[in-house]
Amino acid sequence: MAEIRFYRSSGEYGFLSNLFKAPVEFEGRKFRSSEEAYQFGKPKDFAVAEWLVSAPKQHLCAEAAHSLLGFDIREDWNSIKVDRMRRVIEAKFAQNLELKERLLKTGDAVLIEDSKTDAFWGLGKKGNGKNTLGILLMELRSKL
């Protein structure tokens, strides 16, 4: 079976990355990317969430969110983060029809977030991570 690996927001499959610049309206708010929409839900404090999405670039929002200390993160984050990501990417592809078509054109290829640093959303440095983002994208593709 064919594989499509993605990580950066550039290149042929960069649109699969949450860092890809594609406007997303989510929970009544407009974001520059799905990464921002996702990370906005992580902090306990609204002011911290606002600070995250005020970063000049999406990757800086992600880096800042990854650096939050435990007491800044919602207590239920680990139990809600996958569902939040699912809803965010559904919004991304529903609102950006060109991206939806590009996702559908991936056919039945296995989508893999080729992150060397994240073994939950991607493969991680050992290459045996959960690839949760890739799985969610494939679930969405089959629903569409």
**pLDDT at site 64:** 97
Q: What is the mean pLDDT of the chain?
A: 96
Domains of the chain, start order: 3-143 (1.10.357.40)
**pLDDT at site 81:** 98
Q: How confident is the model at residue 1 (pLDDT cuts 50, 70, 90)?
A: confident
Q: What single string gives the DSSP state of each residue in 62-105?
A: HHHHHT--GGGB-TTHHHHHHHHHHHHHHHHHHH-HHHHHHHHT
- Angle 132-143/77-95 helices, nearest 10 degrees? 40
pLDDT digits (tens, 9 = 90+) for 45-104: 999 999 999 999 989 999 999 999 999 999 999 999 999 999 999 999 999 999 999 999
